[in-house]
Structure 1
Amino acid sequence: MSLQKYHIPKGGLPPQSQLLTDKAVFTPSYAVIPHGTMRDIVCSQLPFWRGMRMWVLARPMSGFAESFSHYIVELEEGGGSDRPETDASAEAALFVVGGAIVLNVAGEEQTLEEGGFGFIPAGTDWTIRNAGKAPAVFHWFRKAYVAVDGLSAPDPIFANEKDIAPIPMPKTEGKWATTRFMDPEDMSHDMHITIVTFEPGAVIPFMETHVMEHGLYVLEGKAVYKLNQDWVEVEAGDYMWLRAFCPQACYAGGPGKFRYLLYKDVNRHMPFK
C-alpha cells in the first residue's frame, strides 16, 4: 500500500444550493480545470471497454496544446479492456492513484498498485483489467510517438514511485525534487512523466518559459501558481494545462507537501508545418 496521498475524483453532482463560485478558466495560454468540474455529467466512455468511465483533462487542439491527451479512468470491479488502444501510433503512460490494475503487455503480465507506473510503447498489444473488488483509478497519457530513423523505440517500463528516490533540484536543499519514471538521457523517449514535490515554502524562483507543453495534475497539497500574468490558487485534484512558452512559476504555501503529476514533450526537433 502506498504511503503517498493521491487525490481521486469522486464524480457526483453538487447540490442545487451550492453557489457558482468556481475557478475554472481557459485562456489562450493556459487552462485551469478545478477538481469541482469533474462531475458525472462530463464523463466519457470508450469503445471496447467494460465497466469504465473517464474524465478527459487534455486533448490536442489547434491553436493550443497539441502534443498529447490526458484521461483519468475509473474501472469498476471486473472492468477493463482487451483492446484499450485503437490507434497504433499512440504510446501510453499510466499512473495508478487508487486500487490496482493488471496489465498484459506483449504477453507479459504486470500488476500496478497505487503509485504504480507503466509505459507502453506505440504499436504494442496490451490489455487491462481491474485486479480487485474496489474501483481502480489511473491517469492515462497518450501521445503519437515521433519515431527517429536510426533510433530504437523505447522499451516498456513498470515501476512504483515508492521505489524511486526523488532527485533534488540543485541548490534547493531537497525542498524541490523530481521523481523520474523515464531516464532523461534516453533519447528514444519523446515524452517524460514525472512527479514534482515541493516542501512547504519552496518556490520556482523564476518564470519558466519554454517550448515544452505541460499537463499538471495536483496529487496532494496546495500552492499558488503564476501562469502568464495571473496568480492562480490550486489544490489537490486541480489540473493545469499549459501551452508552449506560457510563463510559469509557483509557491508552495503548505501546510503539507505540494505534489503534482507532470507531462512534457521532449527530445525531438520542432516540426515544420
Structure 2
Amino acid sequence: MSSKYYAPHGGLPGQKKLLTDRAIFTEAYAVIPRGTMRDIVTSFLPFWEETRVWVIARPMTGFAETFSQYIMEVSPGGGSDQPELDPHAEGVLFVVEGQASLKLDGEIHIMQEGGYAYIPPSTDWTLHNTSEQPLRFHWIRKAYEPVPGLPAPEAFVTNENDIAPTPMPDTDGVWATTRFVDPTDLRHDMHVTIVTFEPGGVIPFLETHVMEHGLYVLEGKAVYNLNNDWVEVEAGDYMWLRAFCPQACYAGGPGRFRYLLYKDVNRHMKLHTG
C-alpha cells in the first residue's frame, strides 16, 4: 500500500526531458520542486549506514537562518548508533514512508508513517530500519536556545493520526493545524506542525511575520503567493520563506492540500552576535 505522504525516490529524468522546471531561489523565498530531488543531489552523513540524505534547508547567508531540514532515506538494515553529533541540537523526526525503530533514552519506539518524535539536545538516541522496505523521514534540526529558569522540553513520540487537528477560527474547519506541542509551552523554541486545507481553502490575507518557515508539501497542490509572486506547488515540493516574507495560498483541489511546517517561536530577538 502506498503512503499518503509524498517522499522522493531519486532516479534521473530521461535525456529527452526539457530543462525547464519550477525551481526558484530569491532573497525572500525559495521553491525546491520535487523533480530536483534526484540521485545526484543526495548527501551522506557520518555514522549513518545504508543511508542517503536530501538536504533541503541549511543555515547560510541568504537562506535558512535558524534550522536545517533533511529528507532521510534508510535502506533495510541501515541506520545509526550516533545520529546526532551536535550536543546543542534539538530535532524533530517525521516518518513519511516505511517504519523506523527509534531507541530514545533506552526505550524502543516503532514509528510508522505519520510518526513524530521530538528529541531535546544532548539526548541519547539511535535509529534503525529493521523492516524489509526503505524508510524515509524528515529530520529537522535547530540549535536549542535555553532560557534561564525554563527547563528544556522532554522527549516524546506520537503519531499525527492520534492528534485531532485544531481548526483555524472562522474557517468552518477548511483550514486546520495539527499541533504536536502546546503553543503556550514556552520551553519550546520551534514548532513543527501539519497544516491542512480542504479544497478551496485559502489563507485570506498576505501574512507577514517574524517566524522563518520551512514548508514541505505532503499531499495535494495549491497556488502560493510568495512576496507577491504566484507559484504553483504540489506534493513533494519544498518552500523556504524568510522572516517577514509576505505569504498566502489557495488550495484548488481536487484533494486536500497538506504540508509539514517549521517555524521558530517563543524567544527574544537576538540584538548582537557572539
TM-score per shorter chain, which class?
Answer: over 0.9
Shift of 1:4: 6.9
Q: Is 2:104 the counterpart of 1:138?
A: no
SS in 2 for 1:206: coil
Task: Tell me what 1:180 maps to.
Answer: 179
Task: Tell me what 2:246 maps to.
Answer: 247
CA contact (8 A) 2:3 2:96 kept: no
How many pairs are equivalent? 272
Letter in 2 for 1:46: L
Task: Tell me what 1:75 maps to.
Answer: 74
1:48-197 correspondence to structure 2 within 5 Å = 48-197=47-196
Per-residue CA deviation, residues 16-63 of structure 1 (Å, 9 max, x unaligned), is: 000112010100000000000000000000001100001000000124
Shift of 1:92: 0.7
Counterparts of 1:68 and 1:113, CA distance in 2: 25
Per-residue CA deviation, residues 77-117 of structure 1 (Å, 9 max, x unaligned), is: 00000000110000010000001101111111111100000
Counterparts of 2:140 and 2:63, CA distance in 1: 17
Counterparts of 2:70 and 2:157, CA distance in 1: 19
Question: What's the TM-score once normalised by structure 2's chain length?
Answer: 0.98
Counterparts of 1:214 and 1:131, CA distance in 2: 33
Question: What's the TM-score once normalised by structure 1's chain length?
Answer: 0.98
Q: Unmatched 5+ residue regions in structure 2?
A: none
Counterparts of 2:91 and 2:130, CA distance in 1: 19
Q: Unmatched 5+ residue regions in structure 1?
A: none
Task: Tell me what 2:230 maps to.
Answer: 231
Percent identity for Structure 1 against Structure 2: 68
SS in 1 for 2:31: strand
Task: Tell me what 1:200 maps to.
Answer: 199
Counterparts of 2:175 and 2:14, CA distance in 1: 39
SS in 1 for 2:40: helix
CA contact (8 A) 1:74 1:136 kept: yes
- What's the C-alpha RMSD, in Å, of the aligned pairs? 1.1
SS in 2 for 1:152: coil
Shift of 1:65: 2.5
Runs of 4 or more above 6 Å deviation: none
SS in 1 for 2:137: strand
Counterparts of 2:217 and 2:51, CA distance in 1: 22
Counterparts of 1:72 and 1:16, CA distance in 2: 26
